[in-house]
Amino acid sequence: MNKEERILKMHLQCPMPKLDFDIITLGHGSGGLLTNKLLDSGVFDVLKNDILDKRHDGAILDLTGAHAFTTDSFVITPVFFPGGNIGDLAVHGTVNDVAMCGAIPDYISLSFILEEGLKMEDFWKILISIKCACDDAGVRVVTGDTKVVDRGKGDQIFINTTGIGRIHPHAQISMDRIKPGDKLILSDNMATHGVAIMSVRDGLEFETTIKSDSRNLNHVVKHLLDEVGKDVHLLRDPTRGGVATVLTEVSRDCNLGIDIKQSLLPIDEQVASACEILGLDPLYVANEGIFVAIVSPGAADAALGVLKSYDICRNAAIIGEVVEDHSGKVILESGIGGKRVVNMLVGEQLPRIC
């Protein structure tokens, strides 16, 4: 089943409850009767699991060993976009951040800031997407919170997810393990998420079939660590600021240089054309479904093999390497052999992309 089919199935399993309200009101954030009514109407049923069902102020988890702990608030606009919505995005984002720490995500918290007037129907769609994304990742929502702000003091819905995951036994992710000669692998086409959002952004709309590639990366990362864990020196998802910003941060923080080649950067043709028309450098466009892995040279081919065995990484490519020269700088070799320094994103290409 593909994502659309799984979401449809979940909608059939958990139809929107019949309620005496069709929009969210301030009272739904009161902590009193209306909050209970909203949660008991079906929210708890959709997210159901042993831990959440206890309904205490917090979840009790049995944890042993090293764990990753990450947080992200999601404020994307529009809330619904080609290929997803703020709900699954909020799960993917945190699941992926946990995975980037070399960990296997287990638990997430889910906190809503709803704007008064949000359609209950939209809330339900988002909730179902959250559930589907959690099931796909194999994580459970174990605790949550719901706040409502006055009309005009929010933007439909903001979501915070915070994740916990066990560090993979083979993971040794650490900036100081990066060495000259290490290979940079990009897990799939870049710039897809950002361009999909732009295509539906007010005042910018253009016709395209490009869909966001927002998705969970935890399964492929786990497989990668299973196979070549000790050779994976760093994992990063190039979300806001794009591939350029992440590489610049890495080269700055590890005091080494990075060389990449334009011709090796995987990008969908339609996305590349859209970037050209919009005058955007795809290196700076935000992503939500890809990651950069820095691996020792001897393991690069094996790593690439693992990635390419997943449909969501079929365009994975070695895009460059770590070098001793020009420490702290990323140098891009263009298609015709010219070289330029890649800097961090300055200002904002497109605000509220995640």
Site for a copy of itself in 185-214 (CB under 8 A): none
Give me the DSSP letters along 89-147. HHHHHHHHHHHHTTEEEEEEEEEEEEETT-BHHHHHHHHHHHHHHHHHHT-EEEEEEEE
Cα–Cα dist 215/136, whole Å: 9
Which parts of 270-289 interact with a copy of itself (CB under 8 A)?
Answer: 284, 286
Q: Determine the interface stretch with a copy of itself among 50-58, 215-223, 306-314, 324-332 (rule: CB under 8 A).
A: 50-58
Cα–Cα dist 133/116, whole Å: 26
The nearer residue to a copy of itself, 7 or 85, going by C-beta atoms, is 85
Does 71 help bind a copy of itself (rule: CB under 8 A)? yes
Q: How far is CA 153 from CA 116, 123, 226, in A?
A: 9, 18, 46
Does 134 help bind a copy of itself (rule: CB under 8 A)? no
Taking CB under 8 A as the criterion, the residue among 1, 60, 277, 336 binding a copy of itself is 60
Cα–Cα dist 283/238, whole Å: 9
Taking CB under 8 A as the criterion, the residue among 201, 208, 249, 302 binding a copy of itself is 249
Cα–Cα dist 31/147, whole Å: 9
Cα–Cα dist 131/136, whole Å: 9
Taking CB under 8 A as the criterion, the residue among 81, 123, 124, 158 binding a copy of itself is 158
Which parts of 80-109 interact with a copy of itself (CB under 8 A)?
Answer: 97-98, 100-101, 103, 107, 109
Taking CB under 8 A as the criterion, the residue among 83, 163, 257, 282 binding a copy of itself is 163
Which parts of 306-345 interact with a copy of itself (CB under 8 A)?
Answer: 343-345
Does 162 help bind a copy of itself (rule: CB under 8 A)? yes
Closest CA to 285 of 349, 331, 234, 189: 349
The nearer residue to a copy of itself, 124 or 284, going by C-beta atoms, is 284
